[in-house]
């Protein structure tokens, strides 16, 4: 049996009842990045700025989001020295989706809702793609009967984490300074605005398709949402596209479990492990602890 979403107390909470409301902070932040990118990006295009965009986007998403925030910080599927933990979280902060505590709440509330017998379309991603993308980019969900979210003391009481949570948007300015001095305004627009916009849209696009019907070996009993694997997207998604595997084994640092399931983030974790920088690396729980899973490949 997989562990529950440990930061969530869903006693008397309901994943179905609530409303989707406009989030002004999201509109200003994400909308601003999108607008600047769409207006200025074509006029300030250069191949060197585009290369900066590609390198920063892939690196921050791979090292920061997939390895640092998702697999290490949220799921605790491996541990590492404090200096490295903070460095990985900082790289994830630079993706521009949310701060450390914010991304935990976004993720864990969604995980909890999807594991219930029923959940609102905001979490199940059942609506059309454009409606769902608009919701995730510019809206938030207000529960009628909300669950309680408690972030563990190691994170919630860490002064550095608290500071990063308060100031996460401002750190784009710190990155913008060397970009401006190295390449001018084009590097700033492509390396900050377009990168943040593409990273945010890309994150929710992969999330949408991973939570709609598609291929996958595992079914989680009692869960309202069953995840899918997205073939051919392993490199582009850093291995996050093998989401059917991840729903079945959230404790595993490796998400691409089958032959041919490319998982770049797992390769990074393996490298850290060889260097003695990653320990307590999680693997899929053994067969005798999978009573909540149905292996559909064995169903005739």
pLDDT tens per residue across span 218-231: 999 999 999 999 99
Q: How open is the CA angle 22-23-27, to the nearest 5 degrees? A: 100
Question: Residues 182-196: what's their mean pLDDT?
Answer: 98
Q: Which among 241, 239, 220 is positioned nearest to 229, based on CA atoms?
A: 241
What is the C-alpha separation between 69 and 160, in angstroms, rounded?
15
pLDDT in tens, 211-262: 999 999 999 999 999 999 999 999 999 999 999 999 999 999 999 999 999 9
Which residue's entry shows tokens 């996460």? 168
SS3 label, residue 148: strand
Question: Residues 112-122: what's their mean pLDDT?
Answer: 97
Q: How many CB atoms lie within 10 A of CB 248?
A: 25
Half-sphere exposure of 168 (CA within 13 A, CB side): 22
pLDDT at 140 over 60: yes
What is the C-alpha separation between 44 and 175, in angstroms, rounded?
18
* Separate counts of helices (H) and strands (E) for the chain: 13, 6
pLDDT at 298 over 80: no
What is the C-alpha separation between 293 and 220, in angstroms, rounded?
5
Which residue's entry shows tokens 């320990």? 279
pLDDT at 294 over 70: yes
Question: Model pTM?
Answer: 0.96
Q: What is the pLDDT of residue 299?
A: 59
Give the contacts of 82 (CB within 8 A, at least 6 positions apart). none
Q: What is the pLDDT of residue 6?
A: 87
What is the C-alpha separation between 221 and 296, in angstroms, rounded?
12
Give the contacts of 100 (CB within 8 A, at least 6 positions apart). 69, 73, 89, 92, 93, 155, 161, 164, 165, 168
Q: Is residue 160 very low, low, confident or very high in pLDDT (cuts 50, 70, 90)?
A: very high
Q: Which among 237, 251, 233, 229 is positioned nearest to 296, based on CA atoms?
A: 229
What is the C-alpha separation between 236 and 241, in angstroms, rounded?
9
Q: What is the pLDDT of residue 297?
A: 84
Q: Is residue 192 very low, low, confident or very high in pLDDT (cuts 50, 70, 90)?
A: very high
Question: Residues 183-195: what's their mean pLDDT?
Answer: 98
Q: What is the pLDDT of residue 193?
A: 98
DSSP state of 21: E
């Amino acid at each position: 049996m997989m562990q529950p979403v440990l930061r969530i107390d869903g006693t008397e909470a309901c994943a179905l009842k609530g409303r989707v409301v406009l989030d002004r902070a999201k509109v200003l932040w994400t909308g601003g990045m999108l607008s600047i990118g769409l207006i200025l990006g074509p006029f300030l295009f250069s191949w060197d700025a585009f290369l900066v965009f590609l390198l920063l986007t892939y690196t921050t998403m791979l090292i920061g989001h997939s390895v640092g925030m998702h697999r290490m910080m949220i799921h605790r599927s491996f541990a590492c020295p404090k200096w490295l933990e903070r460095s990985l979280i900082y790289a994830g902060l630079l993706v521009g989706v949310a701060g450390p505590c914010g991304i935990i709440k976004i993720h864990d509330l969604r995980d909890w809702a999807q594991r219930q017998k029923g959940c609102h379309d905001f979490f199940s991603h059942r609506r059309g793609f454009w409606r769902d993308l608009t919701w995730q980019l510019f809206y938030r969900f207000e529960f009628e009967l909300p669950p309680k979210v408690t972030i563990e003391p190691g994170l919630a009481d860490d002064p550095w984490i608290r500071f990063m949570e308060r100031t996460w948007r401002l750190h784009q300015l710190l990155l913008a300074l060397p970009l401006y001095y190295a390449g001018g305004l084009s590097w700033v627009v492509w390396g900050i605005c377009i990168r943040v916009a593409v990273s945010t849209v890309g994150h929710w696009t992969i999330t949408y398709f991973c939570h709609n019907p598609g291929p996958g070996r595992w079914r989680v009993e009692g869960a309202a949402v069953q995840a899918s694997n997205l073939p051919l997207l392993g490199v582009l998604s850093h291995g996050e596209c093998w989401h059917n595997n991840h729903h079945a084994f959230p404790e595993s640092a490796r998400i691409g479990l089958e032959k041919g399931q490319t998982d770049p983030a797992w390769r990074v974790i393996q490298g850290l492990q060889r260097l003695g920088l990653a320990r307590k690396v999680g693997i899929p729980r053994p067969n005798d602890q999978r009573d909540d899973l149905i292996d559909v490949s064995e169903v005739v």
